[in-house]
Structure 1
Amino acid sequence: MSYQVIARKYRPAKFADITAQEHITRTIQNSLRMERVGHGYIFSGLRGVGKTTAARVFAKALNCQRMIEDADWLRDVTEPCGECESCRDFDAGTSMNIAEFDAASNNSVDDIRTLRDNVRYGPQKGRYRVYIIDEVHMLSIAAFNAFLKTLEEPPPHAIFIFATTELHKIPATIASRCQRFNFKRIPLDAIQTQLQGICEAEGIKVDADALQLVSRKAQGSMRDAQSILDQVIAFSSESGEGISYQGVRELLNYIDDEQLFAVTDAITAHDAPGMIEVAQFVISNGYDEQDFLEKLIEHLRNFLMVINLRSTRLVERPEGVKERYQKESVNFTPAALMRMTAFLLDTQKELKFQFEYQFRFELALLRLLELDRPSNELQPAPVESGDSKKKPLSSPHQP
């Protein structure tokens, strides 16, 4: 039996299973109840947040026989039943009423003309023919223009759902004819909860800190998190002890919070040798300097959040690490943190185009020791201006 990856095995089959996009699923379900379904939709957002999944569930619900025939089910549940002939055909991939296109590989005028010709034919079963076009921003300008008239005056049985990660590349003439839904980046705790449920269903023992590390690495993308979890499960299978934080950190070559705190500890103590040791740790262990600077910027941002909010609620870390942020935040001022953050952002840009980047990386960390001081200590003393520069110093004994 062929293995099915987690991202496909646990793909949501109904609106309620789509994580952290309630503002979208609620709107779509209300439009189904009210029978106010539009002919064009644009789903935009980060990769892996549920755009194509939501489009597929929406398409499935539009032709679900129980949704069409059972008014109580439509009003109270508003989910595809998964049991009628239309739903079964969809799940088996044999439905003739739902077509998916990849605009990245079918982006020419001829591809759109073929699609436009097919749109004229009504559905074999159900009420609608639904066309899901992924990565729609990859269509050429000529292809968009060829599609414009069909989108403006579509046949009553046709519904178009466009998915894109780059909304700004879609011409205004297309976007203005569609309802637009922006998918949110999925919060870390929502990703962690989902991964925990998957591990329980798979019978895998896992540490909460390990799942949080996987969730942080995914940066708001559920699909990325599930793909990383597949890797982690394979990596941890030898130990027989489940998934540990140390194992995940080793696999992902992830920079530990301890090294980031070592930087801020060195800044607080003005410890140049300690800062050089951190730089050597990063270089000798093969970490990417750009990645380290990115994590360090996030680290300083966490201190800023704690100082300004007097709370750790916006710090996505385990409780023990949050307590450390709370405790050590008294060592910094917001002005110093912002100076250091601005400097690191500039350093990131420079490292991309410079040679001898290891030396420049070390130099950047050492420079942080000076940026912690108040800005007036970093500037030369002002030169006196006006007449005072011309007058000689007088003796205290002169009249």
Structure 2
Amino acid sequence: MSYQVIARKYRPRKFAEITAQEHITRTIQNSLRLGRVGHGYIFSGLRGVGKTTAARVFAKAVNCSRMIEDPVYLKDVTEPCGECESCRDFDSGSSLNISEFDAASNNSVDDIRLLRENVRYGPQKGRYRVYIIDEVHMLSTAAFNAFLKTLEEPPPHAIFIFATTELHKIPATISSRCQRFNFKRIPLPEIEAQLRSICEAESLDVEEDALQLVGRKAQGSMRDAQSILDQVIAFAIEREGDRTIRYETVAELLNYIDDDHFFAVTDAASANDPKKMLETARFVIDNGYDEQDFLEKLIEHLRNFLVIHNLRSARLIERPDPVRERYMTEARLFSPAVLMRMIDLLLQASRELRFQFEYQFRFELVLLKLVGIVHPSVEPQEDVHMTRDASPCGGPQKKSP
């Protein structure tokens, strides 16, 4: 049997299994209990947060025989039973009541006209025919217009669920005819909890810091986290007897720069130590890390100090407890004003490095200038930050008289 990736193997099959979207699953379940099922829905949000999964569970629930025939089960459970003929057909992929379309590759007027023709036919079993349209924002303007009449006066057996990552691209004439649900970015603790349960099911031992690193890399997307975990397992498990995933292994695979190196930058800046700052810059360059990525993560590092100053707490910092304690301790080394000046410098440098040559040299200069911001007495008289190359071509710019 061919291998099934984690994102598909552990895909939720019930509303209760959908992570961090309770505001949506609760609303849908209440509408099922009350018999107030609409004809058009828009599910929007970041990639991999459960939009298509929720649409499939919804489509499965509206045709579940037990929910239709057993009012007590409908009121108390409100989940597809997974045992009736309709649910089994859905799980096996043979249900004719559920149709999925990819709007990215079927975005013409002719595709929508064909869909409109199919909508006229009622379900063979159950109550509804459900049409799930992924990436609906990719439809052409003419295709959207062709959909208007169907959405305004749909047949009673049809439900349309539109999934999109770019809600602003959907015309108001379409969105005003649908119920809109915005899916949240999944919090890091809930991603970690889900990954931990997957590792337990796969008989894997995993360090907590390694799980957090995978979750942070996913940036709020459960599917991305599961895909990264798949990659980590393939990289980390070399022998059948050793099924442990360690932090160092994950950091190596993801080419992750440890927090210690960002603390090395701020330590060098606070200690007025240009030598240590240059050593940190050379470490980044010599080990093949991306300078642009380093500056972006350094901005996040300084942001964490600002969080400490403003909240007097580390609860919004997504790091292990020892690292949070270090932020609490070292935040006093910098005032909020100095931190903002450092962030402004790094934001400007991050934008300019994309278009300039000799970026390694300029990367070193940017880090050295952080020392001058913290200790203004040693700041050079002339601004060395990228004044020589004002154009994308990198040529010297003449000073105006």
TM-score by length of 1: 0.93
- Write the letter of the residue equivalent to 2:201: A
Question: What is aligned with 1:350?
Answer: 352
* Matched residue type, 2:72: D
Separation (CA, whole Å) in 2 of partners of 1:372 and 1:11: 50
State the Cα deviation string for residues 18-60 of structure 1 (Å, max 9, x = none). 0000011111111111111111100000000000000000100
Please point out which of 268, 271, 274 is paired with 1:272.
274
Deviation of the 1:349 alpha carbon: 1.1
Report percent identity of matched pairs: 78
Partner of 1:365: 367
Cα distance in structure 2, aligned partners of 1:193 and 1:32: 29
Q: Is 1:290 the counterpart of 2:272 in the alignment?
A: no
Q: Secondary structure at the match of 2:205?
A: coil
Amino acid paired to 1:94:
S
2:319 corresponds in structure 1 to 317
Quote the Cα distance in structure 2 between the aligned partners of 1:59 and 1:293. 45
Equivalent-residue separation in structure 2 for 1:48 and 1:338 (angstroms): 33
> Are residue 88 (structure 1) and residue 88 (structure 2) matched?
yes
In structure 1, how many angstroms separate the alpha carbons of the residues matched to 2:362 and 2:180? Answer: 45
Is 1:70 paired with 2:86? no
After superposing on structure 2, the runs of 4+ consecutive aligned residues of structure 1 that deviate more than 3 Å are 377-380
| Conserved 8 A contact 2:43-2:162 | yes
Q: Please state how far the C-alpha of 1:372 moved relative to its aligned partner.
A: 2.2
Partner residue of 1:101?
Answer: 101
Correspondences of 1:1-399 after superposition (within 5 Å):
1-238=1-238, 240=242, 242-373=244-375
Distance across 2 between alignment mates of 1:15 and 1:258: 41
TM-score normalised to structure 2 length:
0.92
Please tell me whether the aligned partners of residues 214 and 225 of structure 1 are also in contact (alpha carbons under 8 angstroms). yes
Cα deviation for residue 374 of structure 1 reads: 6.8
Q: Measure how far apart 1:98 and its partner are.
A: 0.3
**Cα distance in structure 2, aligned partners of 1:241 and 1:276:** 39
Q: What is the distance in 1 between the residues matched to 2:361 and 2:279?
A: 13
Superposition RMSD in Å: 1.4
Q: Structure 2: any 5+ residue segments left out of the alignment?
A: 383-401
Structure 1, gaps ≥5 residues long: 381-399
The one-character-per-residue Cα deviations of 1:264-305 (angstroms, maximum 9, x if unpaired) are 101111111111111111111111111111111111111111
Which residue identity lines up with residue 227 of structure 1 in the other structure? S
Cα distance in structure 2, aligned partners of 1:46 and 1:367: 37
Q: How many residues of Structure 1 are paired with residues of Structure 2 in the alignment?
A: 379
Larger radius of gyration: 1
CA apart distance, 1:306? 1.1
2:162 aligns to what SS in structure 1? strand
Q: Is the 8 A contact 1:213 1:248 kept in 2?
A: yes
Are the aligned partners of 2:255 and 2:289 in contact in 1 as well (CA < 8 Å)?
yes
Distance 1:146 1:374 in 2: 64
Q: Distance in 2 between matches of 1:59 and 1:49?
A: 18
